Amino acid sequence: MNTRPQLAAADRQVALYAGFNQDSSCFSVGVDNGFHIYSTDPCELQATRELKGGIAIAEMLGRANFLALVGGGRNPKYAQNKVIIWNDAKRKAAISMEFHSAVRAVRLTRTRIVVVLTGHVHVYAFSSPPTRLHVFETYDNPLGLVAISARTLVFPGRTPGQVQLCDLASGNISIIPAHTTPLRAITISPQGDLIATASEKGTIIRVYSAQNCSLVCELRRGIDKAVVYSLAISPSSHRLAVTSDKRTLHVYELPHHGRPSQSSGSRPSSSMSNGPANAENKRWSLLGKLPLLPKYFSSEWSAAHAEFEGGGTAAVGWVSDDVVIVVSVGGGNDGLGEPRWEKFVLLDRGGNGEECLREGWRRYLDND
């Protein structure tokens, strides 16, 4: 395995939160005394803000000067039912929003502020003061599952396993019955054309068209139950990355637009294929070829996978169609407990398929 040397140990901070901005060019980290901003590739510290209190959510708005902050940790900087829109150019809070219960997640665009509570999603115009545009009811959503693109907001439905799609311009809602058990992860592609979901079972990932809510493909993470941490679709919508508590990064090839895969056995043409040999090496489930087994077993296996080593939950982001970054927050129950940035590259081996290699890593909270 090709890895860069680890950085020298220093006084260790605890990561309360780690998340990518919209294009995964940066990631933010909430800690017990403020937050940090890092460039994603290479992993370099860009800014540190000491706030004399813990930050459990530090949601970036692209590379703009605004972040959404929510307090957390042993000594929260802000109440956990408040969202602070932080103006980093002025190093102070610009907007304060208070809610009746703890804030689970926040998403920002240049025109919208989306605040997720356990049972509701609030949508505001990004103004001072913010104007509330919509409130949507959801099934219990303690993880704050939500995803947003330029035109579409995606969040859990009112019943377990359902997904709601909101057209941000009109407020119209579409429903996808994605799973039969509660959702565990949701993402939408950077282009806003595909939605991926995983349930609490963690064995199957389903990909849907955002335009007509049709099923594009089913992807199998494994047979054993797992906790899916993060889903991310590549910039061209040709690949999907998945992390879970199995400490494995899985990468899947997605079908061409408008050509959904057929679970009955016909294979979609892959954007990464260089010819028939590569197509024949796609890892389709052998179980799906056996007679009398349900359609559930005919899902596609990952094209490539690799182990990641950071502890706790792990967010995944794409910096290009061939480079995946995994940022772990540490502090998990798995005994690892180490916040890490890890870089993986995808290599096309021609007739031998694809390979996912870890190219570098670092403990991002250590001092340089």
Q: What is the pLDDT of residues 280-304, one digit of tens each?
A: 334 444 444 455 455 555 578 889 9
Degrees to nearest 5, angle at CA 39 with 35 and 43: 100
Alpha-carbon distance 234 to 31, whole Å? 28
User: What are the pLDDT digits (tens) for 110-139?
Assistant: 999 999 999 999 999 999 999 999 999 999
Number of CB atoms found within 10 A of residue 215's CB: 14
What pLDDT is attached to residue 240?
Answer: 98
Q: What pTM value is reported for the model?
A: 0.86
- Which of 37, 39, 104, 43 has the alpha carbon at shortest distance from 67? 37
Q: Give the containing element (helix H, strand E) for 279.
A: helix 276-280
Q: Which of 126-135, 332-341, 358-367 has the lowest mean pLDDT?
A: 332-341
**Is the per-residue pLDDT at 344 higher than 90?**
yes
| 78: its two tokens | 């802000």
* 204 and 185 Cβ atoms separated by less than 8 Å: no
Segment 88-113 shows an average pLDDT of 97
Residue environment code for 168-196, b if the CB has 16+ CB neighbours within 10 A, otherwise e: beeeeeeebebbeebbbbbbbbbebbbbb
| 169: its two tokens | 């311009």
**Is the per-residue pLDDT at 334 higher than 60?**
no
pLDDT grade for 351, boundaries at 50, 70 and 90: confident
The partner residues of 95 in beta bridges, in order of sequence, read: 85
